[in-house]
C-alpha cells in the first residue's frame, strides 16, 4: 500500500476509543464459538485471558498505534495473534469487520446513551430543586420577547423539566433500536459455519438479533437517530443558555450566574462574561452540523458495506462528547445560579402582565371575548397614557370604559391576583405547580 493511502485510510486516530467494546464483543464471539465447538475450551480460555490483558495495556495507554494496522480492531487482533499464534487467528471465525464494527459502535452508543440519560436526569433534578428555592418568586413570562403574563418561577423551571423529559423519552426510544445485535452477520451473506447469533446477543445484553445480513453491513440508522436525539438536546440547552444569558444582563438583572462558570475580560475589569452559556449555545451548531454530515454521508450509498461508513465515527463521537460536556456543566450552573427577586419585583408592574387575567374576569361575567379584549385594551391605553399600572386606575377611569367595571374587578389586578386566577391544568396556579413538583420528585426518585 502506498504510504499516502495508509495515512489517508487509517481510522485508528479516532476509533481507538472503541477498544473496550471491541474486546467485550470479541470475548462474547469467542465464547459463542466455544459453545458451538468451533473453539475448544482451552482456546477460549487463552483468548479471553489475553484479550483482557490487552485491554489492561490499552487502559494504561501502552499500546503503540500503527497506521498500517488501520483501526483498533486490527490492532487488538494482531496483538492477540502475536501472543497466541494460530489460536489468535481463530478469533475472526464467522465474523467480518463489517459486523464487528457495527457491534462495537452499537455497544458504545448504548453506553453513551445511558450516560446522557443520567446527565439529563441530574439536570431535571437541579431544576426541581430550584422550584423549592424559588417557590415564592413571580417572574414575567414572555412571548415575542415581550412581557406577556406573570408566572411562578417554579412553573418556569418545570418547563425545562418537561423539555428534558421529552429528550429522555427520545433517548430511551433510540436505545431500543440501537440494542439490536449485528454480530454474526459476517461480511454480507452470513456464514456456513454453525454459529448461534442469539447466544452472542444474549452475552452482550442485546434485546434482539438483526435479521438481515445484507442490512447489517450498511445500517447506520441507529447512529443518525442517536445524533438526532443529541441535536434536540443541544437545541434545548442552547435555548436555555440564551435565556439565561439575557436574564443575567444588567438590562434584565433577573439572574446572578455562578462566577466559577464565567470569565472576565482581558481589558474591562468589571466584566463577568457568561462564557459557559455562550459556548453551550455555540457548540449546539457543531451537533446540528454533525447530524447533517451523517445524513449526507449515507445518502445514496448502495447495499451493503462501503468504506464511506468509516467516516461515521468522528461526527458520532463529537456529538456525544459535546452534549455530555454541556450537560456536565449545565447542572452546577442551574444549582448555583441565583434569582434576584428584588430586581424582578421592582419591575413586575411594568408590561401590564395582569391584562389577560382582567379580560378573563370579564368573560367569566358573560362578556364576549372580543368585547372584553377591546375594553381591557382601552384600559391599558389609559394606564399607559398616565404611566401607571392597571391597579392604579381610578374608579372613574374604569367606568369610563364600561359601566360594569366596578371595584370588584380589582381582586384580579396585580401579578399576585393574576397568579391566583389561573385554574387550568398545566397553568401557573400555585397549588397545581406544587402538585407538579411533587409528582416530578416522585418520578425522578
Q: Is the dihedral of CA 135, 139, 143, 144 positive or negative?
A: negative
C-alpha cell belonging to residue 291: 447530524
CB 215 within 8 A of CB 261: no
Cis peptide before 304 (omega within 30 of 0): yes
Residues with Cβ within 8 Å of 190's Cβ and at least 6 positions away in sequence, in order, are 184, 213
Question: What angle (nearest 5°) sits at the alpha carbon of residue 109, between those of residues 107 and 112?
Answer: 110
C-alpha cell read off for 8: 489517508
**Catalytic site includes residue 265:** yes
Distance CA 46, CA 134 (A): 60
d(CA 422, CA 430): 9
Would you say 343 and 253 are in contact if contact means Cβ atoms under 8 Å apart?
yes
Q: What is Dmax (Cα atoms) for the chain? A: 100
- CB atoms < 10 A from the CB of 368, how many? 10
Terminal CA-CA length for the chain: 57
- In the DSSP assignment, the letter for residue 140 is E
Identify the active-site residue in 56, 144, 192, 385.
Answer: 144
Phi-psi region of 219 (alpha: psi -120 to 50; beta: other; left: phi over 0): beta
- Is 144 annotated in the active site? yes
Q: Please tell me which residue in 13, 265, 408, 411 is annotated as part of the active site.
A: 265
Catalytically active residues are 144, 265
Amino acid at each position: 500500500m502506498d504510504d499516502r493511502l495508509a495515512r489517508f485510510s487509517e481510522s485508528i486516530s479516532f476509533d481507538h476509543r472503541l477498544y473496550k467494546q471491541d474486546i467485550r464483543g470479541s470475548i462474547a464471539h469467542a465464547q459463542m464459538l466455544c459453545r458451538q465447538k468451533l473453539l475448544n475450551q482451552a482456546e477460549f480460555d487463552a483468548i479471553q485471558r489475553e484479550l483482557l490483558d490487552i485491554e489492561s495495556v490499552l487502559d494504561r495507554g501502552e499500546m503503540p498505534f500503527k497506521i498500517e494496522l488501520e483501526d483498533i480492531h486490527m490492532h487488538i487482533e494482531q496483538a492477540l495473534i502475536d501472543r497466541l499464534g494460530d489460536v489468535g487467528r481463530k478469533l475472526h471465525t464467522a465474523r467480518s469487520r463489517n459486523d464487528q464494527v457495527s457491534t462495537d459502535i452499537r455497544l458504545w452508543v448504548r453506553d453513551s446513551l445511558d450516560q446522557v440519560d443520567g446527565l439529563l436526569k441530574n439536570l431535571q433534578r437541579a431544576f426541581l430543586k430550584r422550584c423549592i428555592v424559588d417557590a415564592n418568586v413571580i417572574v414575567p413570562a414572555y412571548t415575542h420577547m415581550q412581557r406577556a403574563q406573570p408566572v411562578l418561577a417554579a412553573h418556569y423551571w418545570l418547563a425545562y423539566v418537561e423539555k428534558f423529559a421529552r429528550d429522555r423519552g427520545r433517548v430511551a426510544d433510540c436505545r431500543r433500536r440501537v440494542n439490536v445485535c449485528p454480530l454474526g452477520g459476517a461480511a454480507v451473506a452470513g456464514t456456513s459455519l454453525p454459529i448461534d447469533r442469539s447466544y452472542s446477543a444474549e452475552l452482550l445484553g442485546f434485546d434482539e438479533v438483526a435479521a438481515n445480513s445484507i442490512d447489517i453491513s450498511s445500517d447506520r440508522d441507529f447512529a443518525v437517530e442517536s445524533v438526532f436525539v443529541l441535536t434536540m438536546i443541544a437545541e434545548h440547552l442552547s435555548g436555555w443558555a440564551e435565556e439565561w444569558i439575557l436574564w443575567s444582563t444588567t438590562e434584565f438583572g433577573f439572574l446572578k450566574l455562578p462566577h466559577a462558570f464565567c470569565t472576565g475580560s482581558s481589558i474591562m475589569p468589571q466584566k463577568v462574561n457568561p462564557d459557559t452559556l455562550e459556548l453551550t449555545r455555540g457548540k449546539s451548531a457543531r451537533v446540528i452540523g454533525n447530524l447533517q454530515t451523517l445524513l449526507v454521508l449515507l445518502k445514496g450509498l448502495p447495499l451493503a458495506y462501503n468504506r464511506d461508513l468509516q467516516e461515521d465515527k468522528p461526527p458520532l463521537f463529537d456529538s456525544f462528547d459535546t452534549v455530555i460536556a454541556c450537560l456536565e456543566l449545565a447542572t452546577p450552573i442551574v444549582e448555583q445560579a441565583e434569582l434576584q427577586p428584588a430586581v424582578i419585583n421592582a419591575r413586575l408592574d411594568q408590561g401590564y402582565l395582569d391584562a389577560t387575567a382582567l379580560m378573563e374576569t370579564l368573560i367569566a361575567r358573560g362578556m364576549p371575548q372580543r368585547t372584553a379584549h377591546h375594553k381591557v385594551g382601552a384600559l391599558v391605553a389609559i394606564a399607559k397614557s398616565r404611566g401607571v399600572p392597571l391597579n392604579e386606575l381610578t374608579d372613574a377611569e374604569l367606568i369610563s370604559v364600561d359601566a360594569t367595571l366596578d371595584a370588584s374587578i380589582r381582586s384580579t389586578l396585580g401579578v399576585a391576583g393574576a397568579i391566583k386566577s389561573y385554574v387550568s391544568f398545566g397553568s401557573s396556579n400555585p397549588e397545581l405547580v406544587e402538585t407538579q413538583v411533587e409528582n416530578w420528585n416522585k418520578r425522578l426518585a
